[in-house]
Amino acid sequence: DKVILVLNGVNINCSTGSGIYGVQSDKIIITLAAGTQNTISDGSSYTLESGTDEPNAAVFSKDDLTLNGTGTLTVSGNYQNGILSKDDLVIAGGTYIVTAVNDALRGRDSITITDGKFTINAGADGFQSNNDEDTEKGTVNISGGSFDITAGNDGIQAYTGLTISGGTFDI
């Protein structure tokens, strides 16, 4: 089923795993309530099940993940990544301040951004879509927003294709 979370002034921290961990759903939708400041962080080490390397982000979803709204979300990915979807990551509004040891925002199959304000500080890639198994996936599509990206590797990394049709960028 679809899971809808409305963040309305929350401060979520998990010292041993993801602050938000979507294990199985059709899609997770996170809405940032108007005028709110929300914070999600994880610890610098996780307690993982034997033989697994996931979750690995402060906000982690094994399925599609959509973020929207007009509030602010500050994410600290102290273990590896900030926000990660194993499928499609869609952002349609909001203000995001993401700091991550590895990648700030990652959508394995795709990243689609239509609006939002982003302040990104990543040890590796700012934005990454890395599906290398399907030639129609691994894409980043940006049609609007404001982006201030500081990254140790690529500001925006797409395995298959990158399309930018709008927005302002400082990378």
Instruction: Please report the pLDDT score of residue 48 as a whole number.
Output: 80
d(CA 127, CA 16): 24
Q: CB–CB of 45/17 below 8 Å?
A: no
CA distances from 20 to 40, 83, 102, 103, 133 (A): 8, 9, 18, 17, 27
Instruction: Please report the pLDDT score of residue 54 as a whole number.
Output: 82
Instruction: Please report the pLDDT score of residue 118 as a whole number.
Output: 98
Q: How far is CA 39 from the centre of its chain?
A: 13
Q: CB–CB of 75/101 below 8 Å?
A: no
Instruction: Please report the pLDDT score of residue 79 as a whole number.
Output: 97
Instruction: Please report the pLDDT score of residue 161 as a whole number.
Output: 95
Instruction: Please report the pLDDT score of residue 51 as a whole number.
Output: 75
Low-confidence spans in the chain with pLDDT less than 70: none
Task: Report the 3 state secondary structure along 52-98.
Answer: CCCCCEEEEECCEEEEEECCEEEEEECCCEEEEECCEEEEEEEEEEE
Residue 147 pairs in a beta bridge with: 118, 169
Instruction: Please report the pLDDT score of residue 86 as a whole number.
Output: 95
Work out the mean pLDDT of the chain and round it to a whole number: 96
Of 23, 27, 5, 3, give the one whose Cα is nearest residue 109. 27
Give the CA-trace dihedral at 72, 78, 80, 83, to 10 degrees.
-10
Q: How far is CA 143 from the centre of its chain?
A: 17
Instruction: Please report the pLDDT score of residue 76 as a whole number.
Output: 98
Instruction: Please report the pLDDT score of residue 47 as a whole number.
Output: 85
